[in-house]
Amino acid sequence: MSQVTYTELEGFPIRWAYGQAMPLEEEKDADKTAKTWSVDTTPSTQISNENTGTENQVYGSKQIGQVFETGSNALKLTAVQLYGRKNGSPQNPLRVELRKAVLKEYSKQTADGNQTGSSVETTPYDQQGKGFWIAETYSPTQRVKVTKVEVYIKRYGTVEDVVFEIRDVNPDGTPGTNVFYTDTKPYTETPTSAAWVSFDIDPAFEIQPGEKYAFCFKLKEAEGEYGYYRYWYEGSDVWDKGEGWRKNIPDGDWVYKGDIRMRFTVLIDAYIPSDEKLLSLEIDPASFGTSDGWVSKSLD
């Protein structure tokens, strides 16, 4: 009785007779031609963050971390450099660990939006209850959860409460009429000096890449009262993720206004250090000076 088994190697079928070590196909000698390639062995800075940032004290059980993403080529890590200084006379070494990073959903809070406004507009101030709807559309490049929106405004006198809505966006880019979220803030909570007025969004509003929503605010005077609202904006497109709009109350059309001074607090997916340690090393306190500077630790 005989038996032939089949396997596949690099995309080509190879047959072996049962109990034999050599394939049934023609036997060939291995290619023994010498192969060479060049490898740059000169150390150089490949991944770094040299942002001056804010000074943070590291003591006790406090830990800090920086996530780096490498390029397409493999790297051999030879040294770690930290920018800092020592305060006083620390006795214990600074422990540095290299860990794998894992992607965690909605783990990082960040700010988005337009935070400047060189132009200003005021509601009519004529006791007839007129005002504006102002809006900024938002289309993020990655999925986000919006937890708070803030608009830069002020009021004078007695006015109506501020109404906030999240709406759809029409094909022409203007805010639509479908409302997905709404909230109201008493006018007395709007300052009489220009400031950020915030609305917390609960539950957080999720936006996927490619989707666009309009964040709208109703700024309306109270009929028979001397009062007004004022908002700030940039007349040109200074923010690449949205557009500003204004509509007169009661019956105006949406008019392009560059970008409204409006900002968003959002949660995004982010890589965070995992518990899987690849290496651990210690930096002697004597390596640090009392003035800021780079401290290097070799991995050899």
Q: Is residue 79 part of a domain?
A: no
Q: Which domain does 177 fall in, by range?
A: 108-269
Q: Is residue 235 part of a domain?
A: yes
Q: Is residue 125 part of a domain?
A: yes
Give mean pLDDT, residues 118-132. Answer: 96
Nearest to 288 by CA among 86, 140, 107: 86
- Residue 170: band (very low, low, confident or very high) from pLDDT cuts 50, 70, 90: very high
Q: Is residue 71 part of a domain?
A: no
Q: Is residue 129 part of a domain?
A: yes
Q: Is residue 234 part of a domain?
A: yes
Q: For the chain, how many structural domains are there in total?
A: 1
Give me the pLDDT at residue 1, please.
Answer: 44
Q: Is residue 254 part of a domain?
A: yes
Q: Is residue 279 part of a domain?
A: no
Give mean pLDDT, residues 204-233. Answer: 97
Lowest-pLDDT range of 29-43, 190-204, 227-241, 263-277 = 29-43
Please state whether the predicted TM-score (pTM) of the whole model is above 0.85: no
Give me the pLDDT at residue 30, please.
Answer: 67
Give me the pLDDT at residue 80, please.
Answer: 86
Helix (H), strand (E), coil (C) string for 10-68 = CCEEEEEECCCCCECCCCCCCCCCCCCCCCCCCCCCCCCCCCCCCCCCCCCCCCCCCCC
Largest CA distance in the chain: 106
Q: pLDDT of 96-114, one tens digit each?
A: 898 999 999 999 999 999 9
Give mean pLDDT, residues 159-171. Answer: 98
The CATH number covering residue 265 comes to 2.60.120
Q: pLDDT of 231-257, one tens digit each?
A: 999 999 999 999 999 999 998 999 999
Question: Would you say residue 192 has pLDDT above 90?
Answer: yes
